[in-house]
Homo-oligomer: A and B are copies of this chain.
Amino acid sequence: MTRAFILSVSLFALATSAVAQPAATPARPTTPSEVVAAAPASAWRAIPADDLLIIELKNGGRVVVQLAPAFAPVHVANIKALARGRWWDGAAVYRVQDNYVAQWGNNESERPLPEGVVAKPPAEYTRPLKGLAVRPLGYPDPYAPAAGYALGWPVAYSPKGGWANLAHCYGSVGVGRDLSPDTGTGGELYAAIGHGPRHLDRNIALVGRVIEGIDRLSSLPRGTGDLGFYKERSQDVPIVQARLASQLGAAERPSFQYLDTRSASFAEYLRLRANRKDAFYIRPAGGVDLCNAPVPVRRAP
């Protein structure tokens, strides 16, 4: 019996790997991945080194988070101060809940916050819609009046209410908090590792997304305590260090780009994600949900 493929390539895998485009392909791209591979250099936007948080796990894994200062400026400033203050050096991943989140930080520690960290940031759950120039998804969203993309991020928004929020999708990074909405500093972070937990939208501060190494979190053993917490500290996955790319020397500094969500390439990518028809796909859906058309990200070529 020959290998029974599912031929469709995961978009997330695609989005996080550079794809070489053959020199001469006169035919119009027919798959989302072909569109991304064919996108001109002008359609890509560099991610500032100061917006990249690089987390080195003791097990050899590396997780790169792109921060979103346009959506949660106080929390993101905190995270940068925490990285500069070496807050996560010696911290750990202490919670992995299946189909939900992996969470890390200095849990149950009395470690003092580094200088410059705002202990009680405001609840940055939405921001003004004004200034975002959203590209609409074009399909209904059950969680908000509308959904789309802005500044390279998936967003939900209300034209009438004048607000927008980052959406909880696979790989989204947010700020753990207690019951009171202002108790999260950014010191305890989580990444979504299952179906996009959109019910958390507007209830918790999202600060970015994992753009490389999400599999190093999603493949960790699940915690057997309540809510997926590891029961024993020996199960924790230690963090060697977390640094902003801007803190690293030029030689070690990784460089990433995202596909401009206002570009024609992104529009075509989105169209094909919603209407897949190729050698494998027989019946295009004629629609797609926000989290199933993630913004392509790649290492700078």
Using a CB–CB distance below 8 Å, which chain A residues touch chain B?
1-10, 12-13, 96-101, 103, 105-111, 113, 125, 139-144, 169-171, 175-179, 181, 183-184, 187-188, 190, 194-204, 214-215, 218-222, 227-229, 273-274, 276, 279-283, 285-289, 291-292
Contact = CB atoms under 8 A, between A and B. Distances in A.
A48 B142 CA distance: 34
B13 A98 contact: yes
Best-surrounded residue of A107, A176, A201, A219 (most CB of chain B within 10 A): A219
A1 B187 contact: yes
A283 B99 CA distance: 22
Contacts of A143: 285-289
A43 to B, nearest CB: 23
Contact of A203 (B169, B177, B281): B281
Interface centre among A1, A101, A202, A286 (most CB of B within 10 A): A1
Nearest to A137: B142
B140 A4 contact: no
A5 B180 CA distance: 11
A139 B107 CA distance: 38
